[in-house]
Amino acid sequence: MTSELLAPLDLAFWNIESAEHPMHLGALGVFSAHSPTAGAHAADLLAARAAAVPGLRMRIRDVWQPLSFGGATREPAPDFDPLDHVTLHAPTADFHTEAGRLMERPLERGRPPWEAHVLPGESGTSFAVLFKFHHALADGLRALTLAAAILDPMDLPARGPRPEESPKGFLPDVRRLPGLLRGAVSDVGRALDIGASLALSSLAVRSSAALSAAPSGTRRTAGVVVDLDDVHRVRKAQGGTVNDVLIAVVAGALRRWLDERGDGSDGVAPRALIPVSKRRPRTAHPQGNRLSGYLIRLPVDDPEPLSRLDTVRSAMDRNKDAGPNRGAGAVALLADHVPPLAHRLGGPLAGQAARLWFDILVTSVPLPGLGLKLGGNPVTEVYPFAPLAQGQSLAVAISTYRGQVHYGLVADAEAVPDLDRFAHALTAELETLVTACGA
């Protein structure tokens, strides 16, 4: 593989990272173990297979050349050693306690920014693997592709050949200039629209102190599993999509959690960022991020569960009608309009501005329908983990896998010592929705 400049959004993720707010994605896979030594065997397999995956050899290096001054490249690491990235830990009784501790540690920036931590269970009947990928290396779909490359092979449908691209010179083809000019004008208009929508989204918003926190650098994780059939029952009874129901469950769980801890939910309507992938499912290459997003107000202050679902569904419909290139949620697209040096100098400021943009991240990470295995040991649970933005105390990631929905929760451990209570609230909220719609 050859080196390539980081795309603007990748560069933004690389530069907004701080010690208290590492910008890596995570996924905790829990495996049923065929033997007490299955975890150790899994670590050996991961290290052996990683050496043959080109994308895992890529490091990120700063660039100070005139045309990309302040940028960075993604390039093969000359001294790549898989053993620097795969770690076998001592047996543990609680995978999530260990995952939280590991998620708070930034990845080493001088080598390929990913890690795989194998956590054997004390009982010997299970083990877990925590994958960490820096957001500058991969978005959710790309991270899944890299992780799948070192799990057991899957029988996937064959991919058709990619269309060949014509060589790119230093100057655009003159026949394309009119279209390029129209595109430039359209990009400017889009940027102005996003900026105006972002300004409006920050007006008259009341969130909760529980969703914001001074950075402590600590992390806590939790996982929740619910039945996908229950989600479908609600969807069929009330309309909308599976994602609408899952987001409404988050809104209702926040209401329960805030009321239980005494913070109160009256008048609270936090802004939720819902990332939208602009990458087609079978094109996880090229590397890097292809992301936009939708911004919605979660109706935490609404006491009626079905009304909350209706509000979420209507908000998501409005966003889909506008498309992922418009509105305050698409602010990630503005990264394309920022020169590399500005990304480098303004990264810390941009990280601090996240709290002005949204209050909580709620993201969905796609998983294959086929069963995942490592060393013949099947995956039984998969919890995705999202980065925690500066000034925010909770992020929610969701994956659907083999008939179950897995909520992966990441929180600032000092700001949210009761993350397990929020996890229980998610389960209770789905049960309430099922009952309310008579499903």
* 439 residues of the chain, pLDDT tens digit each: 677 888 877 888 888 888 888 999 999 999 999 999 999 999 999 999 999 999 999 999 987 665 555 688 889 999 999 999 999 999 999 999 999 999 999 999 999 999 999 999 999 999 999 999 998 888 888 888 899 999 998 754 444 444 333 333 333 343 443 443 344 334 434 433 434 444 444 445 556 677 877 778 899 999 999 999 999 999 999 999 999 999 999 999 999 999 999 998 888 999 999 988 765 554 444 556 666 788 999 999 999 999 999 999 999 999 898 876 654 444 444 444 445 544 444 445 555 555 667 899 999 988 877 789 999 999 999 999 999 988 889 999 999 999 999 999 999 999 999 999 999 999 999 999 999 988 6
Coil vs helix vs strand at 262:
coil
pLDDT digit string, tens, across residues 70-127: 688 889 999 999 999 999 999 999 999 999 999 999 999 999 999 999 999 999 999 9
175-183 long-range Cβ contacts below 8 angstroms, 24+ apart: none
Q: For residue 427, what are its two tokens?
A: 């389960």
Q: Please give the Cα distance from 238 to 158 (Å, whole number).
A: 37
Pairing of strands 114-120, 86-88: parallel
Q: Which of 128, 122, 104 is nearest to 20 (CA)?
A: 104
Identity (one letter) of the amino acid at 35? Answer: S
User: Pairing between strand 394-401 and 360-364?
Assistant: parallel
pTM of the model: 0.83
**pLDDT tens digits, 255-287:** 999 999 999 888 899 999 998 876 555 444 455
Query: DSSP string covering 297-341, please?
Result: E--TT---HHHHHHHHHHHHHHHHHH-TTSSGGGGGGGGGGS-HH
